[in-house]
Amino acid sequence: MDALLSIEKVSVSFAQRKRLFGKERVSLRAVDDVSAEIGEGETLALVGESGSGKTTLGHVVAGLRKPSAGRVRLRGAELGAGNRALAGRAIQIVFQDPFSALDPRMPVSDIIAEPLRIQGIGTKNERRARAASLVEEVGLPADALNRYPHEFSGGQRQRIAIARALAPAPELIVADEPLSALDVSIQSQILNLFRDIQKREKLSYLFISHDLGVVEHLADRVAVLYLGRIIELARREDIFAHPAHPYTRALLDSMPSIGKGRRRKRSIKGEMPSPLDPPTACVFHPRCPLAQDICRKVVPRFEPLAARPSHSAACHFKE
């Protein structure tokens, strides 16, 4: 395949020891058999509630965690211990919390240039020059270079984090809820920054978010995760216009919408179950308005819709 990044049947399990009940070893499947692809210059949005495994999956793509099963490929090459350097340069990550994403003891120019320093790219002066140009690119003043993180606001820190991610000229950036910790007024600024940078540097994004409104603005395709399993994947327009999975529909319905008429928001029944003890067969069935007997017994396969092959979902009633 020609995809830039392909996630192939990735699963991540954590072993949990439950001593109280004897030597039972229960494993927590944070990510369960997820496959997806991201093309060049494309944004794949990863949507889900907390506990859905989206951050864990993002960490796997960024090389921070080894999958228990499956693999991640960059342009066909499997990412592993052998090509750490390649992955480190080509895939970068921006985190959610701007206040813990920057080392308080390092000046901004060092923070931004750090990926280059780690990879041994360029001389000290070259790195400094790169940091200077990046600082401008993310919309910060030049004198920010000599300052320390605590002198900046949340939005500015996030810009610094983005500049750092851009330093090694990556091809894909994993953005793990980069807007969630920011003030609403700042969010759109940073979102626009993401868009501008994408166009300029021809980047791909794995954009993780629980906010569908943000997703609508940025994503080319959308993947929906529930309890570590991918339950729907489609082009942006299709997800928003014709959601196939009841969970996706419920998410869309619960989106706050200004000016769309005073339609009563439908909330999803119940709470997300604990990943330690997932429901049988279709994991969504306890909360699903369409649940039938088959949903409790047979695991719905994640497959394309007959009507639109580019649109896949895992539901017995997806059509």
Partner 1 sequence: MTDLATEGALARPARAVEAAQSVWSLRWRRFRHHRGGMASLVILATLVLFCLFAYPLERYLGLDSNTTDLLSRYDPPSATHWLGTDEGGRDELLRLMYGGQISLLVGLLATVIGGGIGVSLGLLAGYFGGRIDSFLMRLTDGVIALPLLPLLIVLAALDLTKLGFSSEFAHSGAAGFWRIVVIIALVDWTAIARLVRAATLSVKERDYVLAARASGAGALYVMTTHVLPNIVTPIIVAFTLTVGRVILFESVLSFLGFGIVPPTPSWGNMLNNAQELVTTAPALAIYPGLLIFITVIAVNFLGDGMQHAFDPRSERR
**Residues of the shown chain interacting with partner 1 in the complex, contacts defined by CB under 8 A:** 59, 62-64, 84-85, 87-89, 91-93, 95-97, 99-105, 107, 111, 114-115, 118-119, 140-141, 143-144, 146-148, 150-153, 156, 161, 164, 168
Which of 162/230 has CB closer to partner 1?
A: 162
Which of 119/180 has CB closer to partner 1?
A: 119
Give the pair of three-digit tokens for residue 40.
């060049």
DSSP state of 285: G
Q: Whole-number minimum distance, CB 260 to partner 1, in Å?
A: 35
Q: Whole-number minimum distance, CB 89 to partner 1, in Å?
A: 8
Closest to 177 (Cα-Cα) out of 204, 151, 212: 212
- Nearby residues of 18 by Cβ (< 8 Å), 6 or more positions away: 24, 25, 26
Which of 11/96 has CB closer to partner 1?
A: 96
Which of 178/246 has CB closer to partner 1?
A: 178
Q: Whole-number minimum distance, CB 243 to partner 1, in Å?
A: 33
Rounded Cα–Cα distance for residues 51 and 44 (Å): 19
Which of 64/77 has CB closer to partner 1?
A: 64
- What would the DSSP string read from start to end of 248-277? HHHHHHTS--TTS--PPPPPPSS-PPPTTS
Q: Whole-number minimum distance, CB 24 to partner 1, in Å?
A: 21
Rounded Cα–Cα distance for residues 297 and 280 (Å): 7
Q: Whole-number minimum distance, CB 298 to partner 1, in Å?
A: 39
Give the pair of three-digit tokens for residue 160.
């610094």
